[in-house]
Amino acid sequence: MYIKEIEFLNFKSFGKKVKIPFFDDFTTISGPNGSGKSNIIDGILFALGLSNSRTMRAEKLTDLIYNPDSSNKPQYAQVKIRFDNSDNEMPVEADEVEITRKIKETGSGYYSYFYFNGKSVSLKDIHNYLAKAKVTPEGYNVVMQGDVTQIITMTPVERRKIIDEIAGVSEFDNKKERAMNE
What does 28 bind: ligand ATP, Mg ion, none (CB cut-off 5 to 8 Å by kind)?
none
Is 71 one of the binding residues for ligand ATP (CB under 6 A)? no
13 scored as a contact of Mg ion (CB under 5 A): no
Distance CA 182, CA 160 (A): 26
113 binds, among ligand ATP, Mg ion, none (CB under 5 to 8 A by kind): none
What, of ligand ATP, Mg ion, none, does residue 13 touch, CB below 5 to 8 Å by kind? Answer: ligand ATP
Q: Which runs of E-coded beta strand occur in 106-169?
A: 110-116, 119-121
Scanning 14-22, 33-41, 125-133, 146-154 for contacts with Mg ion by CB under 5 A, the matching segment is 33-41
Q: Binding to ligand ATP by residue 12, rule CB under 6 A? A: yes
Whichever of 3 and 56 has its CB closer to ligand ATP, that residue is 56
- 181 assigned ligand-binding residue: no
Helices (H) and strands (E) in the chain, counts: 5, 6
Q: Does 38 bind Mg ion (CB under 5 A)?
A: yes
Q: How far is the CB of 40 from ligand ATP (least distance, A)?
A: 7
Contact status, residue 5 vs residue 25, Cβ threshold 8 Å: no
Sheet with 119-121, edge to edge strand ranges: 18-21, 2-9, 76-84, 96-105, 110-116, 119-121
| 33 annotated as a binding-site residue | yes
Annotated binding-site residue? 88: no
Q: Let me know: does 7 contact 101? Beta carbons within 8 Å.
A: no
**Whole-angstrom distance, CA of residue 180 vs CA of residue 182:** 6
Cα(88)–Cα(105) distance, integer angstroms: 35
Q: Could you tell me the smallest distance in angstroms from the CB atom of residue 33 to ligand ATP?
A: 4
What single string gives the DSSP state of each residue in 24-53? SS------STTSSHHHHHHHHHHHTT-S-T
The contact pattern for ligand ATP, residues 29-68, with x = CB under 6 A and - = no contact, is --x-xxxxxxx-----------------------x-xxx-
Q: How far is it, in rounded angstroms, from Cα 39 to Cα 30?
A: 12
Which residues participate in the annotated binding site for ATP?
A: 32-39
Contacts with ligand ATP by CB under 6 A lie at 12-13, 31, 33-39, 63, 65-67
